[in-house]
Amino acid sequence: MPNAWYREKIKTLYSPEQIQARVRELGAEITRDYRGKPLVLLCVLKGSFMFAADLARCIDLPLRVEFLGVQSYGDDTMSSGVVQITLDLARPVDGEEVLIVEDIVDTGLTLDYLVHQVQTRGPASVKVCALLHKPARTKKKVSIDYLGFTIPNKFVVGYGLDVAQRYRNLPFIGHVAQP
């Protein structure tokens, strides 16, 4: 982006090229594992919108994309610990292979809640693809079947991730520099 209004505040962790290369690898792995079976890609809003859009283009399978809106943070960097569904699935997923696409697994509370929620809808299988994992913050251990990057205990933004709803449009992932 030519107008680097964010440069002072955000330090790059993964460049757009690094992200795209990893997303391509994840897409290839998912394509291999599902062996031509139809798949429901379940994009968890809002944070996963960019990742899911790129990942979908790297998966060579008959794909359906669904959206689930959840909110687990207030307008700061601390988890509220309470997961709220803000947008439910528009179609049933019973009998289907479902892949939950998450931006980041931090405490694991959101993902744990989501996996249980989706399981109650009777899918054939539920797996998880997360772009980022912050293991230092784990409160609930949830298995991640496909993982982009393991990151240190820093608050990150960009590529869909926000702080107070900002920075989602950055094409890279960065952390908020200390003032």
Q: Which residues are catalytic?
A: 106
CB of 60 to ligand IMP, least distance (A): 27
Question: Is 129 among the residues that bind ligand IMP (CB under 6 A)?
Answer: no
User: Exposure pattern of 17-36 as b/e (b: 16+ CB <10 Å)?
Assistant: eebeebbeebbeebeeebee
Among 73, 146, 159, 172, binds ligand IMP (CB under 6 A): 73
Interaction residues for ligand IMP, span 88-127 (CB under 6 A): 102-111
Residues 6 or more apart whose Cβ sits within 8 Å of residue 47: 102, 103, 104, 160, 161, 162, 168
Among 129, 156, 170, 173, binds ligand IMP (CB under 6 A): 156
Phi then psi for residue 24, to 5 deg, are: -60, -40
Contacts with ligand IMP by CB under 6 A: the residue count is: 18
- CB closer to ligand IMP, 40 vs 109: 109
Contacts with ligand IMP, residue ranges (CB under 6 A): 47, 72-73, 79, 102-111, 155-157, 161
